[in-house]
């Protein structure tokens, strides 16, 4: 198959141009299109270690893929697995160092056992499990936390439940593990896991259901043995639990602070993302820069990067942003170049280092020097939550150079007959009165919002609430509508939907249980 001779206009391109073409293609595309095309391209591909270092394992074991993968197997360093029926043994990839599991199909213990064994994990340095519903992660932990495992980085998005002592019985120590990203329900599970099985951990990223410990108090002093350098904690709501369950009390924060103190001699990066939780107390140290400095930050002598993102449930406090931000205008924060902003019911550090921003309509800053537009403040943001979409707000969004999704929440409609059949006077009673006020009009200048491809509207009236917005987003292709009044068939929005929207999701409820998806 390697001696096939042919010449086309592609053969006139120098290798540098061929590699530029490859830059726009995945490794699977390169192999499907160019491998076995002719002798020259076979030679180029076999010698190309950069474009073929990562391969998504095809679910089909066709003759083409069997022979192709066998030919380029030594080039592969990262293998992406999307289906549990893995038809190739991992040991054929002599230079494989990373495995990424991104499967929507549920994996059984048999699938996991067939894929992993200790011999394979002796040469795998990175393991990522991306799909949150496909794998019972507890079945993998004994293979990760084992003295013969070479894993240095373990990233696991499925929830790991370690509430029972038996889940720790099969775990041993992995002295090679340096980076751990884990999703669990209780903070105490993390403490037991790293204190007993990951002594050499350097970076820890946690997604938690709650900070609260339902059992006895723990002595966290053993954590001082771990020289952790990076700590990121995110609180995320769990399905089936009430929103009121997600609050941070004074006691919760005291426990958290005591844990962070254990890493005071080594920690250089700290991130606290609590936008899914509510802070009710007016003396909460996360909302008071001076208290935060006094009880936590001043003890972290090596800390270089501090990122904060919190939700405020006390509306009296949130209506006084200047009062909160004044506590962060101290010599301590200026010396560390740590700046903060506040809008609506959210307080956050700047530059903003998270991919989702809430309540962007108006904001105050702790450092007035940041008032001038600076794209570097917002370049991490992928999703922004708004309550209005007038020209003033969109002018600010222009500075979010990587923004992809806008989510808007309005007052819901309750008349399902109106949602299906059209609008009438009764249907407009529930509308947000703010839409009737005069707002700055959108103009063609907002065509620079070319990165935005998705708009989500919950509640409200599609015509009045996002009609103008849909008209000025040049690359919009995905629209999600929930409990939203739809436009009439003679609306000019219908033509826009036909021209732009490739994926449309419409959902509204007819009762407490019945749901219709269009």
Interacting residues of 495 by C-beta distance below 8 A, sequence separation 6+: none
Q: What is the dihedral of CA 409, 415, 419, 422, to 10 degrees?
A: -120
First to last CA, the chain: 49
Note whether residue 63 is domain-resident: no
CA distance linking residue 318 with residue 320, whole number of Å: 5
Whether residue 430 sits in one domain with residue 338 = no
For residue 308, the model assigns a pLDDT of 95
pLDDT, average across residues 98-117 = 75
Contact between 239 and 185 under an 8 Å Cβ cutoff? The reply is: no
Residue 6: Cβ-neighbour burial (10 angstroms; 0-12, 13-18, 19+): exposed
Interacting residues of 491 by C-beta distance below 8 A, sequence separation 6+: 463, 467
Note whether residue 41 is domain-resident: no
Note whether residue 494 is domain-resident: yes
For residue 370, the model assigns a pLDDT of 66
Cα 351–355–360 angle (5° rounding)? 70
Whether residue 307 sits in one domain with residue 243 = yes
Whether residue 421 sits in one domain with residue 372 = no
Range of lowest pLDDT (178-182, 271-275, 422-426): 422-426
Residue in 171, 185, 131, 191 with CA at minimum distance from that of residue 155: 131
The model's pLDDT over 281-308, given as tens digits with 9 standing for 90+, comes to 556 788 889 999 999 999 999 999 999 9
Whether residue 457 sits in one domain with residue 337 = no
Whether residue 318 sits in one domain with residue 227 = yes
Residue 361: Cβ-neighbour burial (10 angstroms; 0-12, 13-18, 19+): middle
Tell me what the pLDDT averaged over the chain comes to.
Answer: 78
Instruction: Determine how many CB atoms are found less than 10 A away from the CB of residue 40.
Output: 18
pTM attached to this predicted model: 0.82
Note whether residue 413 is domain-resident: yes
Contact between 379 and 352 under an 8 Å Cβ cutoff? The reply is: no
pLDDT at 512 over 80: no
Note whether residue 226 is domain-resident: yes
Whether residue 417 sits in one domain with residue 346 = no
Note whether residue 261 is domain-resident: yes
DSSP, collapsed to helix, strand or coil, labels residue 106 as coil
Highest mean pLDDT among 97-111, 290-304, 415-429, 430-444: 290-304
Q: Which of 358, 377, 396 is the endpoint of a domain? A: 377
Instruction: Pick the more confident residue, 412 or 457.
Output: 457
Whether residue 429 sits in one domain with residue 296 = no
Instruction: Please state the domain count of the chain.
Output: 2
pLDDT at 267 over 90: yes
Note whether residue 251 is domain-resident: yes
Instruction: Pick the more confident residue, 189 or 454.
Output: 454
Domain span at residue 346 reads 178-377
Whether residue 461 sits in one domain with residue 338 = no
pLDDT at 30 over 50: yes
Whether residue 429 sits in one domain with residue 325 = no
Whether residue 423 sits in one domain with residue 322 = no
For residue 283, the model assigns a pLDDT of 61
Q: Label residue 445 by pLDDT band (50, 70, 90).
A: very low
Q: Label residue 484 by pLDDT band (50, 70, 90).
A: confident
């Amino acid at each position: 198959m390697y001696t096939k001779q042919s010449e086309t206009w592609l053969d006139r391109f120098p290798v540098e141009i061929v590699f530029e073409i490859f830059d726009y293609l995945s490794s699977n595309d390169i192999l499907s299109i160019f491998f076995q095309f002719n002798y020259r391209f076979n030679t180029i591909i076999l010698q190309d270690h950069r474009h073929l270092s990562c391969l998504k394992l095809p679910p089909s074991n066709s003759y083409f893929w069997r022979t192709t993968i066998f030919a380029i197997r030594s080039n592969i360093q990262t293998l992406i697995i999307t289906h549990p029926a893995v038809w190739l043994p991992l040991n054929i990839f002599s230079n494989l160092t990373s495995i990424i599991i991104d499967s929507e199909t549920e994996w059984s213990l048999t699938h996991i056992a067939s894929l992993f064994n200790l011999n394979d994990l002796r040469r795998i340095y990175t393991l990522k499990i991306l799909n949150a519903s496909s794998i019972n992660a507890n079945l993998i932990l004994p293979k990760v936390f084992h003295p013969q495992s070479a894993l240095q980085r373990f990233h696991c998005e499925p929830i790991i439940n370690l509430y029972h002592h038996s889940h720790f019985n099969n775990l041993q120590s992995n002295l090679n593990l340096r980076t751990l990203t884990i999703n669990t329900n209780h903070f105490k599970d993390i403490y037991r896991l790293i204190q007993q099985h990951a002594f050499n951990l350097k970076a820890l990223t946690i997604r938690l259901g709650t900070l609260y410990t339902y059992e006895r108090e723990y002595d966290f002093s053993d954590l001082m043995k771990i020289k952790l350098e990076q700590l990121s904690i995110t609180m995320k709501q769990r399905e089936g639990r009430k929103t009121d369950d997600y609050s941070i009390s004074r006691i919760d924060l005291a426990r958290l602070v005591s844990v962070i103190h254990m890493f005071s001699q080594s920690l250089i990066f700290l991130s606290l993302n609590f936008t899914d939780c509510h802070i009710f107390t007016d003396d909460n140290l996360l909302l008071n820069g001076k208290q935060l400095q006094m009880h936590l930050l001043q003890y972290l002598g090596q800390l270089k990067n501090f990122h904060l993102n919190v939700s405020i449930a006390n509306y009296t406090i949130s209506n006084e942003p200047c009062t909160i931000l004044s506590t962060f205008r101290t010599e301590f924060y200026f010396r560390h170049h740590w700046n903060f902003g506040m809008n609506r019911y959210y307080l956050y550090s700047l530059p903003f280092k998270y991919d989702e921003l809430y309540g962007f309509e108006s904001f105050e800053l702790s450092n007035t020097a940041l008032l001038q537009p600076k794209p570097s403040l917002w370049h991490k943001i992928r999703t922004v939550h708004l309550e209005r979409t007038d020209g003033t707000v969109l002018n600010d969004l222009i500075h979010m150079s990587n923004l992809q999704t806008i989510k808007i929440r309005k007052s819901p409609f309750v008349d399902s007959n109106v949602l299906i059949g059209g609008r009438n006077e009764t249907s407009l009673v529930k509308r947000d009165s703010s839409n009737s006020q005069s707002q700055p009009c959108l103009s063609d200048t907002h065509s620079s919002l070319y990165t935005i491809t998705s708009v989500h509207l919950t509640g409200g009236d599609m015509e009045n609430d996002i009609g103008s917005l849909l008209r000025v987003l040049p690359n919009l292709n995905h629209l999600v509508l929930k409990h939203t009044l739809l436009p009439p068939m003679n609306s000019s929005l219908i033509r826009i939907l036909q021209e732009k929207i490739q994926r449309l999701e419409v959902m509204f409820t007819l009762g407490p249980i019945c749901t219709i998806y269009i």
